[in-house]
């Protein structure tokens, strides 16, 4: 049996990570290069000439004298942690297939669980915002799913208490391989929610395959073509060839949630889904994930802890 090239790719080894990001200076230079890939641009006047305040790692514009940090107005803003701690966290989030809990991340980084949670969710926010406006195209398999454990004696399946509904959509290539994934929390499996999902996440050129759940017909309102493949229910339905890749993705997500996170607070579900989606969509080049995430992090506005912890996340 042929090996799956994606699963057996080399990725970024720990020695290679240490070679590229092992010092604070290397991490800082990576942030600077991501923030200004074509050279420094003053956020005040747009000037390109600068001097460096070395004692505080600040850039001072030679024209307007404005001082700015490479981390200002980015996800790293106001951090008291070394950048190499952030980069080590990025390494664990991008190179582990099923994610990593904040407890385990804290152990590996040498920080408290609370600090690890903050870092992790800020990086998840970067992932969420990076892919928020991207749309799927072509053939798309779509399915309904839930995050949330079963409750003894309670209702099972759709409408059960404690479950957070989300839509999973997998774009496939002409030769039947999965290429892109979309995971979005919805308020309910209703025509209104699915139409809103389709308008935001699906190009009108999409041919959407669903299992016959009535609300999925609302993708037509967003200009998509809708095809129904009735699969019935139970284990046999999950093995339907028409939904092979969306069901495979859902199986991996549920295994990760059970094995890594145990349970997820409903208001943080979009960030967890964004993490799975981000890794899946970039799985063909694991080594490139850290520079790509760094680039996105320098373009994501600061996310204070009070917003991470208390505010609802909207996909």
Average the pLDDT over 31-53 and give the result: 94
pLDDT at 226: 97
The pTM (predicted TM-score) of the whole model is 0.89
Region of residue 179 (left: phi > 0; alpha: psi -120 to 50; beta: else): alpha
Which CATH fold would you assign to the domain 139-287?
Answer: Nucleotidyltransferase; domain 5 (3.30.420)
- pLDDT, mean over the chain: 89
Domain range summary for the chain, segments of one domain joined by +: 139-287
Q: Is the pLDDT of residue 176 over 70?
A: yes
- How many Å apart are CA 257 and CA 180, to the nearest integer? 20
Q: Where residue 157 falls among pLDDT bands split at 50, 70, 90?
A: low
Residue 315 has pLDDT above 60, yes or no: no
Residues of the chain with pLDDT > 70: what percent? 88
The reported pLDDT for the residue numbered 155 is: 52
Query: What integer is the mean pLDDT of 243-264?
Result: 88
User: What mean pLDDT is predicted for residues 102-129?
Assistant: 96
Name the burial class of residue 313, with classes exposed (0-12), middle (13-18) and buried (19+) by CB atoms within 10 angstroms of its CB.
buried
The answer, yes or no, to whether residue 161 has pLDDT greater than 80, is no
Of 129-133, 182-186, 240-244, 246-250, give the lowest mean pLDDT range.
240-244
User: Which three-class secondary structure string do you get for 57-84?
Assistant: CEEEECCCCCEECCCCCCCCCCCCCCHH
């Amino acid at each position: 049996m042929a090996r799956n090239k994606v699963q057996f790719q080399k990725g970024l080894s720990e020695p290679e990570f240490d070679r590229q990001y092992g010092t604070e200076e290397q991490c800082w230079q990576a942030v600077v290069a991501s923030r200004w890939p074509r050279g420094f641009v003053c956020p005040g006047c747009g000037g390109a000439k600068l001097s460096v305040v070395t004692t505080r790692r600040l850039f001072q514009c030679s024209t307007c004298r404005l001082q700015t940090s490479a981390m200002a107005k980015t996800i790293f803003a106001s951090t008291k942690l070394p950048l190499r701690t952030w980069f080590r966290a990025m390494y664990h989030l991008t190179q582990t297939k099923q994610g990593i809990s904040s407890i385990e991340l804290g152990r590996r980084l040498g920080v408290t669980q609370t600090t690890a949670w903050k870092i992790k969710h800020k990086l998840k926010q970067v992932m969420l915002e990076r892919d928020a406006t991207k749309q799927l195209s072509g053939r798309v398999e779509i399915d309904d799913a839930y995050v949330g454990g079963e409750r003894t004696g309670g209702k099972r399946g759709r409408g059960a208490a404690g479950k957070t509904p989300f839509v999973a959509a997998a774009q496939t290539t002409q030769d039947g391989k999965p290429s892109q994934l979309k995971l979005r929390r919805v308020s309910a499996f209703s025509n209104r929610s699915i139409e809103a999902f389709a308008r935001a996440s699906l190009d009108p050129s999409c041919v959407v395959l669903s299992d016959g759940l009535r609300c999925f017909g609302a993708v037509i309102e967003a200009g998509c073509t809708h095809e129904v493949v009735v699969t019935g229910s139970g284990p046999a339905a999950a093995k339907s060839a028409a939904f092979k890749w969306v069901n495979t993705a859902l199986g991996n997500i549920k295994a990760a949630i059970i094995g890594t996170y145990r349970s997820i607070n409903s208001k943080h579900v979009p960030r967890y889904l964004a993490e799975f989606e981000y890794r899946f969509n970039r799985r063909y080049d694991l080594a490139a994930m850290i520079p790509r995430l760094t680039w996105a992090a320098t373009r994501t506005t600061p996310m204070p802890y009070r917003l991470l912890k208390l505010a609802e996340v909207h996909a």
